[in-house]
Amino acid sequence: MESSKAEQIEKIIAALKEKYEDQVLLIESPYDFLTVSLRREKIVEIIDYLYHHPDTQFKFLTTLCGIHYPDQNSIVVMYQLHNLVTNQRIRLKIFLPENNLVTPTITSIFQGANWMERETYDFFGVVFEGHPNLTRILNVEEMIMFPMRKEFPVEDQVREDKNDMMFGR
């Protein structure tokens, strides 16, 4: 069982490298979860390729989210795909610099990405080009901040009645 899983992962990596060797930045496997960092340019093409390739067949989008790394001035968009036939998962990451948070949408491949991308836009300000309705989803329309970015404080910073020095991050 274990060896077949390792073989599967090798096949996936081979399939990916066969066509997009230059796009792959890093392949790792934290906590046994295949994670591939990619260049940002061809992400939709790669997801489409992984969807159709017979060795990969990642036809299920489990989740999609943003991660803000303030020291690297970048926001990561993480796609987590699942092959329901072989029960294999993969995580794809692209790094967007803070001054250019634009990436194409994957709603043409997965309709379910619609709201996930809206949520990522709402909280991180990542603009998904070509998205059918890229508006805020959970926050109010008038909001001007992207609240999940690290520089956005949880509480009003002018409050003086609370001392959080010993608690929280």
Partner 1 sequence: MPEAKYIAIDHPVQPEEKQYSYLNLGPTHPATHGIFQNVLKMDGEIIVDAVPTIGYIHRAFEKLAEHKPFYQVTPLTDRMNYCSSPINNLGWYMTVEKLLRINLPKRVDYLRIIVMELARITDHLVCNAVIGVDTGALTGFVYMFQQREHVYEIYEEICGARLTTNLGRIGGFERDFSPKAWAKLDKFLKEFPVVLKEFENLLVRNRIFMDRTIGIGGITSEKALNYSFTGPNLRAAGIDYDVRVAHPYSSYEDFDFVIPVGTNGDVYDRFMVRQEEMWQSLNIIKQAIKKLPEGPYHGDVPDFYLPPKEQVYDNMEALIYHFKIVMGETDVPKGEVYHCVEGGNGELGFYLISDGGRTPFRLHFRRPCFIYYQAYPEMIKGSMLSDAILTLSSMNVIAGELDA
Q: Does 123 bind partner 1 (CB under 8 A)?
A: yes
Please, is 81 exposed, middle or buried when counting C-beta atoms within 10 Å of its C-beta (0-12, 13-18, 19+)?
buried
Helix and strand numbers (H, E) in the chain are 3, 7
The CA distance from 160 to 116, in Å, is 37
Q: 126-155: which residues touch partner 1 (CB under 8 A)?
A: 137-140, 147-148, 152, 154
**21/135 with CB nearer partner 1:** 135
CB of 132 to partner 1, least distance (A): 11
Taking CB under 8 A as the criterion, the residue among 34, 50, 119, 126 binding partner 1 is 119
- The strands making up 88-97's β-sheet, listed across from edge to edge, are 24-28, 35-38, 88-97, 74-83, 60-69
Taking CB under 8 A as the criterion, the residue among 4, 21, 26, 87 binding partner 1 is 87
Q: Does 30 bind partner 1 (CB under 8 A)?
A: yes
Q: Are 24 and 34 in contact (CB under 8 A)?
A: no
The CA distance from 47 to 27, in Å, is 16
Give the residues lining the site for partner 1 (CB under 8 A). Answer: 30-31, 33, 35, 59-63, 65, 67-68, 78, 80, 84, 87, 89, 91, 110-116, 119, 123, 137-140, 147-148, 152, 154, 166, 168-169
